[in-house]
Amino acid sequence: MKILSEFHKHLKHTHRVFLLVALVGLSIAALAQTAAAAEAPQLMFVQSAEDLKVDSAKGTFRLVKVNPQTLFFSDRPQRIAGHIKMADYLKEWTAKAGKDNFGANPPNATLSVYEPGKPENTIVVVTLTNPVVDGADLVYSYKVLNGKMPAKGGATALFIDWIGAGGGVGFGFHGVGVGRRGPGWR
């Protein structure tokens, strides 16, 4: 009888250890899932245009005949890529995109322009504000951070800083996950 009693105590102890191990395992799994959610995709945008016109007096540039689709992509591990219509891209500049919108926290961008007569593209880093569609063009206000604005336009690409998934683009489109914008290159 004493052996049976000892076996019962040992079984109770084993059961408690098993439950403790299971709880620790579930806690680790929950933490891993939280960490994965914290690494929400950081989406970058690309816009291309046939030409560029700069009004340095007003601090604006015009993407002439801008592609009506804005490309977006993310880096590893998610590797998301796609394109959105201009109207949906412009929503990223409003409070509708959530607290982390481009209007509240303007993005940096790199402007790459093939100026007529120059063999290499001109690169200038800017901060973007106030996008406005004007017919087939898109006009931005800008502040130069690095480089010099081109004197003349040409084929242009604009590479726009990233925004977290909470900004609204990506799987499921607007309102995905909880993301946040960061200070720039990571």
Whether 171 has a pLDDT exceeding 80, the answer reads: no
pLDDT of residue 102: 85
Q: Which two tokens stand for residue 171?
A: 């799987």
- pLDDT band at 149, cuts 50/70/90? very high
Among 185, 126, 132, 184, smallest CA distance to 150 is for 126
Q: Which has the higher per-residue pLDDT, 1 or 7?
A: 1
The pLDDT tens digits of the residues spanning 45-63 come to 999 999 999 999 999 999 9
Interatomic CA distance for residues 21 and 13, integer angstroms: 12
Q: Percent of the chain having pLDDT more than 70?
A: 66
Label residue 31 left, alpha or beta by phi (over 0 means left) and psi (-120 to 50 means alpha): alpha
Whether 86 has a pLDDT exceeding 70, the answer reads: yes
**Partners of residue 110 on adjacent β-strands:** 125, 159
Over residues 88-105, mean pLDDT: 81
pLDDT of residue 15: 52
Q: Which two tokens stand for residue 132?
A: 């406005």
DSSP label at residue 5: H
Q: Which has the higher per-residue pLDDT, 7 or 69?
A: 69
User: What average pLDDT does the structure give for the chain?
Assistant: 75
Q: Which two tokens stand for residue 169?
A: 């683009």
User: Could you tell me if 83 and 110 are in contact, meaning their C-beta atoms sit under 8 angstroms apart?
Assistant: no
pLDDT of residue 180: 37
pLDDT of residue 39: 61
3 state SS of 38: helix
3 state SS of 105: coil
For 119-131, letters b (16+ CB in 10 Å) and e give eeebebebebbeb
Q: Where are the domains of the chain?
A: 1-38, 42-165
- pLDDT band at 117, cuts 50/70/90? confident
User: Could you tell me if 50 and 155 are in contact, meaning their C-beta atoms sit under 8 angstroms apart?
Assistant: yes
Confirm whether pTM is higher than 0.75.
Answer: no
How open is the CA angle 112-49-169, to the nearest 5 degrees?
90
Interatomic CA distance for residues 27 and 77, integer angstroms: 24
Using alpha carbons, list the distances in angstroms from residue 185 to 22, 61, 72, 161, 174: 40, 24, 16, 8, 24
